[in-house]
Structure 1
Amino acid sequence: MSIFKKKKIGIDFGSCNTRVYVDGEGLVFNEPTVVLVDVNRGNVVAIGNAARELLGKTPQYLEIKKPIQNGVISSRKAVVAILKFLIDYVSGTFRMIKPDLYIAVPSGITSVERRAMVQVCFDAGAGNVKIYPSVVLSAIGCGLPIYKSHGNVIVHTGGGTTESAVLSMNGIVVEDAIRVGGIAVNDSLTNLIRRQFALFVGESTVEELKKNICSCVPVDKPRSAEISGRDITTGLPRTIRVDTNDLVEAVKQPISSIIASIKGVLEKTPPELSSDIADTGIALTGGNANLWNIDVLLTKAIGVPFFVVEDPMFSVIKGLECVIEENYVFEMVEK
């Protein structure tokens, strides 16, 4: 590794996961966006997988923090620590030239939130910083022909936010972003299990439940799973079995906000592009797109066909790869 070569680093800084692409090297980092903080000393002691493995198992002076919430910075110090770690991880601790950072952010963030992200990048040691909307990167990454004068609609639904946009001629025609995503689904599931089964369950348990058996619509052949937690009444450990159809309403509740957002975007779409959308359908990207039958629910609710792209969790980082490696250019409007 030459200390004189400027690195170009693409970072998809999600509420749940962080992914890093480096020019000429590919995907080099894919871990949870969490840190373990020593609250007495105020320093970060673990990042990513190393921190997540300790979730719910640490003494009181150690806290797990999620520094990106709803797509924006919630802990500036922790974000700087992660970025410094990533820059060192990619470029080495001794380097002569500061790297260029290409950062994905939700399209709905404010100018203040955007400037805050740029500043933490500089504080962490970046040479230049470029900010791109996740929804456009996601469309590029999954291969939508947004360069054509044709209506392309994409819904990028991640952990903390869901962005919907109509894209044409390398620009955004109509867009909307709401701070609802996979984390809201997890919260809804946690609340249902507490109400209906009188059981407190941990974050990792709910996440596995969502991935393995949850559906957005009732199914004829439900899956089932055993989950363990703490009984609300006795305070003792207890195990229960739940199946897919027990949990459908909890999954659908936050998705209803996403449906309303998508409808709002479609209602504002120029008629000339609406016919294109009816023919080609709407692409679903982001980690929340992996929810079982989310395309079925959205198609039924909105009346336009939805389809989940290949590897929806990696669409943004693939878009950053195109921007870095191929100098892909698109129009951005500052807010």
Structure 2
Amino acid sequence: MLGLNTDIGVDLGTATVLIYRRKKGVVLQEPSVVAVNNDLGKVLAVGEEAYNMIGRTPGNIVAIRPMKDGVIADFSVTEIMLKNFIERACKRKMFLKPRIMVCVPAGITSVEQRAVLEAATRAGAKQTFLIEEPRAAALGANLDIFEPSGSMVVDIGGGTTDVAVLSLGDLVTSTSLRIGGDKFDEAIVQYMKNNHNLVIGERTAEDIKKQVGTAYPELKQDTMEVRGRDQVSGLPRNVTISSEEVYQALKEPVSSILECIKQVLEQTPPELSADIMDKGIVITGGGSLLHGLDKLLQDEVDTPVYIPDNPIGSVAEGTGKALEYLDKLESSLISSKSISKKNRH
């Protein structure tokens, strides 16, 4: 029998990978970045070290994000990254191969499912299960999803926003939108180009989002000095940007997320809608930390909105908990064994 302590949950995110180990909690949180030397075809760094190289490497070294919009964009690099993180999380070479629960966007295709299962298996899993991000987020936020009662979760990750209503341990209605924290950063980069003729990198855009970004400008009126490259002269230049400006930059992606949430609510059976009105909506993921987003959502849908204590770690914790509830969940999960059985028929 496999030791339960070798079971691990993986939040394979577009921006960040988190790994949860049973009885130890989240043991690894690293950016989903791999630095590769193209001349030698060699991996130089994985995670934080590779992230620090973004925008600062010579031509022969490339910092790659192998995940895009919540799914695998570069299979071989994802496999290398996953293997590295699993070995680091387990602090040793594994004598017992772990069972791995990986969370994926709710709208993932069967081809994308197979890619994740194969990458995890080749990275050292004995058996791999896939769980939808909102279901993992709900478990990680300590919602009792196994009751015959409606719970609503919005998980705003780096590449996707997953919205779902759950009851009796499964998704009742859900949707996945390929908009998340990365799209927020892209919107800020574009705004700086269009309105200030200033070219900035994605790391600077992320800093702007965290420091002065808001979805509710009435509650935040900060400013920040931003350094970038002038589009006309090509020389370095400083610009002061306000929270109001960042609000304008983020208006479109934030509105898309709000529309998505409203659509799921409209498709929800009335009895479950009543439960959600009582219990409120839980928002998780790094994107939930955008200042004022919870207040904006609460005003828009007239329902209480809560952010759990650890919104970034909720999905990873939920993947780990899902392994503890495997007897209740296994029939509704995709696994490496169920895929191989299909292949034999």
Classify the TM-score, shorter chain.
Answer: over 0.9
Tell me, yes or no, if structure 1 residue 195 matches structure 2 residue 175.
no
Q: Rate the CA distance shift 1:259–1:328 in 2: closer, same or farther, 3 A.
A: farther
Q: Is the 8 A contact 1:322 1:328 kept in 2?
A: no
Kindly indicate which of the two structures has a greater share of residues assigned to helix: 2
CA distance in 2 between partners of 1:47 and 1:174 (Å)? 36
Structure 2 letter corresponding to 1:107: A
- The equivalent residue for 2:40 is 41
For normalisation by structure 2, the TM-score amounts to 0.91
Residue aligning to 2:310: 311
Q: State the 1:220 CA deviation.
A: 5.6
Matched, 1:77 2:76: yes
Are residues 1:181 and 2:148 paired?
no
Residue pair 1:198, 1:233 contacting (<8 A) in 2 also? yes
Report how many aligned residue pairs link the two structures. 333
Using the TM superposition, give the Cα deviation of residue 311 of structure 1 relative to its aligned residue in structure 2, in angstroms.
1.7
Give the corresponding residue for 1:266. Answer: 265
Counterpart Cα distance in 2 of 1:239 and 1:267: 46
Q: 1:220 to 1:140 in 2, by over 3 A?
A: closer
After superposition, the Cα gap between the structure-2 partners of 1:96 and 1:309, relative to the gap in structure 1 and judged at 3 Å, is: closer
Structure 1 residue 72: deviation in Å? 0.2
Q: 1:91 to 1:296 in 2, by over 3 A?
A: closer
The Cα shift of 1:240 comes to: 1.0
Q: CA deviation at 1:174?
A: 0.6
Identity %: 34
Unaligned runs of 5+ in 2: 340-345
Post-superposition offset of 1:42:
2.4
Q: Does 1:332 align with 2:332?
A: yes
Alpha-carbon distance in structure 1 between the residues aligned to 2:243 and 2:85: 38
Q: Match of 2:173, as an amino acid? A: V
SS in 2 for 1:108: coil
Is the contact between residue 9 and residue 317 of structure 2 (CA under 8 Å) also seen in structure 1?
no
Q: Which residue of 1 aligns with 2:8?
A: 9
Distance in 1 (CA, whole Å) between partners of 2:14 and 2:121 is 20
Corresponding residue for residue 121 of structure 1: 120
Structure 1 CA distance, aligned partners of 2:305 and 2:4?
Answer: 43
Residues 22-171 of structure 1: pairs in structure 2 closer than 5 A: 22-91=21-90, 94-171=93-170
Q: Is the 8 A contact 1:76 1:120 kept in 2?
A: yes
SS at match of 1:165: strand
The 4+ residue runs of structure 1 with deviation greater than 6 A are none
Structure 1 CA distance for aligned equivalents of residues 312 and 123 of structure 2: 26
**TM-score under structure 1 normalisation?**
0.94
Q: Could you give the per-residue CA deviations for residues 2-25 of structure 1, whole angstroms, max 9, x where no partner exists?
A: xx9972121111000011112243
Question: 1:223 maps to what in 2?
Answer: 222
Deviation string for 1:255-310 (max 9, x for gaps)? Answer: 11111211111111111111112222211111100000001222222333322222
Q: Which amino acid aligns with 1:332?
A: S
Deviations 1:5-57 (A, max 9, x none): 97212111100001111224332211100010111232321011100111111
Call closer, same or farther: CA 1:188–1:94 in 2, change over 3 Å.
Answer: closer
**How many angstroms apart in 2 are the aligned matches of 1:120 and 1:304?**
40
Is residue 288 from structure 1 mapped to residue 287 from structure 2 by the alignment? yes
CA distance in 2, matches of 1:281, 1:87: 35
The one-letter code sitting in structure 1 at the alignment partner of 2:293 is I
236 and 83 in structure 1: CA distance in 2 versus 1, 3 angstrom threshold: same
Question: Conserved in 2, the CA contact under 8 Å of 1:6 and 1:98?
Answer: no
- In 1, Cα distance between equivalents of 2:266 and 2:23: 42
In 1: Cα distance, 2:168 partner to 2:4 partner: 34
Q: Secondary structure at the match of 2:107?
A: coil
Q: Are 2:236 and 1:232 equivalent residues in the alignment?
A: no
Calculate the aligned-residue CA RMSD, in Å. 2.1
Contact 1:6 1:100 in 2 (8 A): no
Q: Which residue of 1 aligns with 2:253?
A: 254
Asked if structure 1 preserves the Cα contact closer than 8 Å seen for 2:80 and 2:123, the reply is yes
What runs of 5+ residues in structure 1 fail to find an aligned partner?
Answer: none
Shift of 1:322: 1.7
